[in-house]
C-alpha cells in the first residue's frame, strides 16, 4: 500500500510513463536522463519519507475508506481534527522540500480523495451510477498502488479571440473525436503538464469556461503509458556539466520539468471517465458541491507557507551575515516577509477552524483558502524582489564552484576576500549560492513565473474574489453601510 522510493524508480525503469521527447530524441530511461533524474529521485524521496522513523507517524495513517494503512495524503477528513491531521502531514512533506516541488504525489492524491468523497452526492447524482463507481475504483487503484498522479489543464493558446471549437482545427484543445464500445478517443494537447514525463497516472481537467462545446466536457484519469500519450519536455534546468549541489542547492533537488502533453487519438476507457458531456456542471464541480478550487488553493497555502519560511530564513541570514540587519530600510523589508509568513500561517489555521462540515467530508474554508492563495500570486514574487534588493550587487560576484575552494592558492584569496562579518568564506559562498538559485537561476525564475500564474491570470483571480469567491457574502458587507445610511437623518420635507 505504501511504496518505497526504489519501487517508484523501478516503475520508471520498467517504462510505466508516457512517450517522452527531449531535444529531438525519445528518452528511454527517465531515471538516468540529466533533465529528469533529479526530479525522479526527489519523488523517490517522497515515498521514502513515509518510512522515515521521524516522519512516518505524520505521513502514514490507517485509512478506513480502504481498510488499510495508506499515505495520509489519501486520507479523507471527516471533521476538523482530521483536516488538521492531513494538513500537518502535507506540511511535513513541504518542509522537506523547503516549499518547492509543488507537483509532488501528495498534490493529486488529495484530488483523488476529494472525488471519492463526493462519489455519491455529486458524481452519482449528476452523471449516474457508472461514473460514481469509476470515481470509487480510481481512488482504490491509486491507494492500493500508491500511484504518482500529475495533471494537465492548460489548453494551447492558438487564438484567444475565438473559442477552440471555432479554430481551424477544433482538436488543438483536447476533445472527444468519437465514442467506441471500449471508451472514447480523444485528441489534442495541454501546454503545461508539470512532472508529466515521469508520472504514472494523469488527471485531465478541461477548460470548459472557454468553450462549452460538449466535446471538450470530459474529465478522466489515464495511465500515462497508454498508447498515444506523448510528452515534449521543455529545456531542462539541471546543473551545468561539472556542477552539482554545491553550486545549485535547489536546482539539483527541486527542478520540476514541465512538458507539453499530446494525446494522439488516445483511447480513454469508459471506466476511467468521471465527468462527461455536461459542461454546465463545471461550476458545481469547481465552485460548489465538490469545490475543487477551495482544496487546491488550500494545498497551495500549505506549500507556500513552507516556502515563505525558507525565504524568510534566507533573507534574515543574508542581512545578518553582512551586517545590514540593523538598517531600518532593511528591517522594513524583513518585516514585510514576516508579515506574509504570518498571513499564510493564519490562513492555514483559520481555514481549518472555519471550515465547512459536509456529510461526506470536512473541507477548508473556501473564502480564506482562495484569498490567501491568491495573495501569494503577488506576495511570493515580491519576496523574491526583496531578496534582490537586500543582496543588491553582492549576489553576483561569487566564485564558480566548489573546485575554487579545492585549489589552495584560490582558497587563500577567497578566505580573505569573501568572508563577511558573520560568515567565513565557504559558508558565505554557500549562502549566496542558495540565494542565486532562488532568485537568479533558471529554476528560480521558473518558480517565480509559476507562482505568478499557476492558478491562472492573477487579474482574473483577484477579480473573482468579488465576482465568485465572496459572491454570497458581499451583500452582508454592503448591508453594514446601508444600516449606517438608514440611521443618518434625511432632510426635512
**Whole-structure pTM over 0.85, yes or no?**
yes
Residue 492 placed within a domain: no
Final residue of a domain: which of 286, 304, 331?
286
Q: Is the pLDDT of residue 320 over 90?
A: yes
**pLDDT reading at 457 higher than 90:** no
Is residue 486 in a domain?
Answer: no
Task: Indicate if the pLDDT at residue 153 is higher than 90.
Answer: no
pLDDT band, residue 155 (cuts 50/70/90): confident
Q: Is the dihedral of CA 77, 81, 85, 91 positive or negative?
A: positive
Query: Domain range holding 404?
Result: 292-480
State yes or no: pLDDT of 55 exceeds 90: yes
Both 448 and 302 in one domain: the answer is yes
CA 197 to chain centre: 16
**pLDDT, average across residues 156-172:** 92
> Could you tell me the CATH number of the domain that includes residue 207?
2.40.110.10
Task: Answer with the one of 241, 257, 286 that is the final residue of a domain.
Answer: 286
Residue 377 pLDDT grade (very low, low, confident, very high; cuts 50, 70, 90): very high
Residues 277, 352: one domain? no
- The answer to whether the CB of 17 falls within 8 A of the CB of 23 is no
The chain-wide mean pLDDT, for the chain, equals: 95
pLDDT digits (tens, 9 = 90+) for 263-302: 999 999 999 999 999 999 998 899 899 999 999 999 999 9
What span, in angstroms and rounded, lies between the C-alpha atoms of 441 and 434?
10
pLDDT at 334: 97
368 in a structural domain: yes
The CATH number for 358's domain is 1.20.140.10
Give the separation between CA 380 and CA 206, rounded to whole angstroms: 27
183: which strand partners? 269
pLDDT for the residue 210: 83
Residue 317 has pLDDT above 90, yes or no: yes
3-state secondary structure 265-288: EEEEEHHHEEEECCHHHHHHHHCC
Same domain as 229, residue 104? yes
Helical residues (DSSP H) of 97-173, grouped into ranges: 105-117, 125-127, 129-145
Distance of CA 265 to the CA centre of its chain: 28
Q: Which one is predicted more confidently, 473 or 456?
A: 473
Last residue of a domain, one of 244, 259, 286: 286
pLDDT tens digits along 291-316: 999 999 999 999 999 999 999 999 99
Residue 93 lies in a domain: yes
Q: What is the tally of structural domains in the chain?
A: 2
Residues 242 and 349 placed together within one structural domain of the fold: no
Asked whether residue 402 is domain-assigned, the answer is yes
Task: For residues 121-131, give the mean pLDDT.
Answer: 96
pLDDT of 393 over the 90 cut: no
Q: Which of the four pLDDT bands, split at 50, 70 and 90, describes residue 170?
A: very high
Both 266 and 340 in one domain: the answer is no
User: Same structural domain for residues 187 and 330?
Assistant: no
Residue 270 lies in a domain: yes
Question: What's the N-to-C CA distance of the chain in angstroms?
Answer: 79
Q: How confident is the model at residue 101 (pLDDT cuts 50, 70, 90)?
A: very high
* One domain for residues 441 and 320: yes
Residues 390 and 325 in one domain: yes
What share of the chain has pLDDT > 70, as a percent? 100
Q: What percent of the chain has pLDDT over 90?
A: 89
| CB hemisphere CA count around 109 (13 angstroms) | 26
| 181 inside domain | yes
Same domain, 186 and 297: no
Average pLDDT over residues 28-51: 97
Residue range 124-145: average pLDDT? Answer: 97
pLDDT at 414 over 90: yes
The average pLDDT across 382-410 equals 93
What is the reported pLDDT for 456?
80
60 and 110 both lie in a single domain: yes
Closest alpha carbon to 202 in 270, 156, 157, 263: 263
DSSP letter for each residue of 226-272: STTEEEEEPPP-PPPTT--TTT-TTHHHH----EEEEEEEEEEEGGG
What three-state secondary structure class fits 23? Answer: coil
Confidence of residue 421 (pLDDT cuts 50, 70, 90): confident
The pLDDT tens digits of the residues spanning 346-370 come to 999 999 999 999 999 999 999 999 9
Asked if residue 401 is part of any domain, the answer here is yes
pLDDT at 261 over 90: yes
Q: Is the domain of 71 the same as that of 33?
A: yes
pLDDT of residue 313: 98
Which pLDDT belongs to residue 191?
86
- Same-domain check for residues 30 and 168: yes
Amino acid at each position: 500500500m505504501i511504496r518505497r522510493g526504489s519501487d517508484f524508480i523501478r516503475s520508471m525503469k520498467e517504462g510505466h510513463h508516457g512517450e517522452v521527447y527531449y531535444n529531438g530524441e525519445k528518452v528511454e530511461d527517465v531515471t538516468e536522463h540529466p533533465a529528469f533524474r533529479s526530479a525522479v529521485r526527489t519523488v523517490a524521496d517522497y515515498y521514502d519519507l513515509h518510512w522515515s522513523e521521524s516522519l512516518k507517524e505524520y505521513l502514514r495513517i490507517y485509512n478506513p475508506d480502504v481498510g488499510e494503512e495508506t499515505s495520509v495524503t489519501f486520507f479523507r477528513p471527516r471533521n476538523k481534527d482530521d483536516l488538521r491531521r492531513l494538513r500537518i502531514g502535507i506540511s511535513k512533506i513541504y518542509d522537506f522540500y523547503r516549499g518547492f516541488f509543488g507537483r509532488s504525489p501528495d498534490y493529486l492524491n488529495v484530488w483523488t480523495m476529494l472525488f471519492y468523497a463526493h462519489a455519491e452526492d455529486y458524481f452519482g447524482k449528476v452523471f449516474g451510477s457508472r461514473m460514481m463507481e469509476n470515481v470509487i475504483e480510481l481512488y482504490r487503484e491509486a491507494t492500493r498502488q500508491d500511484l504518482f498522479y500529475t495533471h494537465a489543464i492548460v489548453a494551447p493558446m492558438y487564438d484567444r479571440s475565438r473559442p477552440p471549437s471555432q479554430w481551424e482545427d477544433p482538436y488543438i484543445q483536447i476533445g472527444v473525436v468519437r465514442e467506441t464500445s471500449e471508451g472514447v478517443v480523444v485528441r489534442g494537447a495541454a501546454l503545461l503538464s508539470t512532472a508529466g514525463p515521469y508520472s504514472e497516472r494523469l488527471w485531465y481537467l478541461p477548460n470548459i469556461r472557454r468553450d462549452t462545446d460538449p466535446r471538450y466536457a470530459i474529465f478522466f484519469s489515464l495511465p500515462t503509458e497508454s498508447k498515444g500519450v506523448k510528452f515534449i519536455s521543455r529545456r531542462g534546468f539541471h546543473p551545468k556539466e561539472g556542477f552539482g549541489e554545491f553550486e545549485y542547492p535547489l536546482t539539483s533537488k527541486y527542478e520540476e520539468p514541465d512538458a507539453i502533453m499530446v494525446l494522439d487519438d488516445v483511447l480513454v476507457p469508459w471506466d476511467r471517465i468521471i465527468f462527461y458531456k455536461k459542461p454546465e456542471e463545471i461550476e458545481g464541480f469547481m465552485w460548489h458541491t465538490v469545490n475543487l478550487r477551495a482544496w487546491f488553493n488550500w494545498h497551495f497555502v500549505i506549500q507556500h507557507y513552507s516556502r515563505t519560511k525558507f525565504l524568510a530564513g534566507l533573507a534574515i541570514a543574508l542581512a545578518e551575515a553582512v551586517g545590514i540587519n540593523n538598517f531600518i530600510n532593511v528591517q522594513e523589508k524583513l518585516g514585510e516577509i514576516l508579515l506574509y509568513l504570518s498571513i499564510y500561517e493564519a490562513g492555514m489555521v483559520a481555514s481549518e477552524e472555519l471550515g465547512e462540515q459536509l456529510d461526506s467530508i470536512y473541507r477548508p474554508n473556501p473564502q480564506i483558502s482562495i484569498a490567501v492563495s491568491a495573495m501569494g500570486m503577488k506576495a511570493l514574487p515580491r519576496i523574491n524582489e526583496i531578496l534582490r534588493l537586500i543582496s543588491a550587487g553582492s549576489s553576483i560576484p561569487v566564485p564558480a564552484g566548489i573546485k575554487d575552494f579545492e585549489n589552495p592558492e584560490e582558497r587563500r584569496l577567497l578566505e580573505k576576500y569573501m568572508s563577511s562579518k558573520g560568515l567565513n568564506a565557504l559558508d558565505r559562498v554557500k549562502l549566496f549560492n542558495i540565494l542565486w538559485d532562488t532568485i537568479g537561476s533558471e529554476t528560480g525564475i521558473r518558480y517565480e513565473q509559476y507562482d505568478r500564474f499557476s492558478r491562472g491570470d492573477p487579474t482574473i483571480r483577484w477579480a473573482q474574489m468579488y465576482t465568485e469567491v465572496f459572491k454570497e457574502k458581499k451583500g452582508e458587507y454592503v448591508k453594514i453601510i446601508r444600516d449606517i445610511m438608514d440611521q443618518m437623518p434625511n432632510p426635512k420635507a
